[in-house]
Amino acid sequence: MVRRFCLMLSVLLLPWVATAAPAQRVISLAPNLTELAFAAGLGDKLVGVSAYSDYPPQAAKIEQIANWQGINTERIVTLKPDLVLAWRGGNPQRPLDQLTSLGIHVVYLDPKNAGQIAQALETLSEYSPVPATAKRAAADFRQQWQALKLKYHRDNPVPAFIQFGTQPLFTASAATMQSEVLELCGAKNIFADSRVPWPQVSREQVLSRHPQIIVIAGGKSQKQVIEDYWRSLLSVPVITLESDWFSRAGPRILLAARQLCPQLADLPQR
């Protein structure tokens, strides 16, 4: 009877043991997931990554097995991963289902805000050979985010327009991490109330909401493009943020916040 009970218990616990064991061969299917994997102590276990996985620098040396055209499932199978990190919002579902049917463990990470970045790191701690590293990264991220929130809070937030492109003209709603960064730094996204995460807007809509600043991802050349676009219509500061910091849902979103917050702090309170 005891032997039978132990056998049943081992069978019940088998899936838990399999998913909790440290991963030995990992594939990441998005640049932000690659960054999360490195932050969680899984960098040395990565055997395949997606295109544009260029941070940290050693990530650029790993074989690329996915890009905007799709996922190379045959190559993934050949690499024999025991863990694939995927993104529902950007990876096609069919090849992921194929990998799952072949017994390859797929974990979906879709962080859409700061809290979910920390949660993603904690999830990865279950597969990391150094789980304490992942848990510490999650705790440090939360602490630094909260410190910025306390330091840069404004009673009267600055109305801000997040601009992506010019033709067409896109922005971000409150459902995005980019909007959350603005709020953290003491700004108010003028299109926070949009019903879609990435709404297309017109110049007239922007002007009617009277932004006091424009925030973009890019460098000096992009800043000049935006200033020329609004010339004679809207004369407000254009703040540029490092593109990868601001666009990727990973730990470096903190760097975007540290880049933005001091610049907003220099603006006068209304």
Binding-site residues for cyanocob(III)alamin sit at 52
Answer yes or no: are the C-beta atoms of 87 and 33 closer than 8 Å.
yes
Answer yes or no: are the C-beta atoms of 48 and 28 closer than 8 Å.
yes
Residue 3's φ and ψ, nearest 5 degrees, are -60, -40
Binding site per annotation, positions? 52
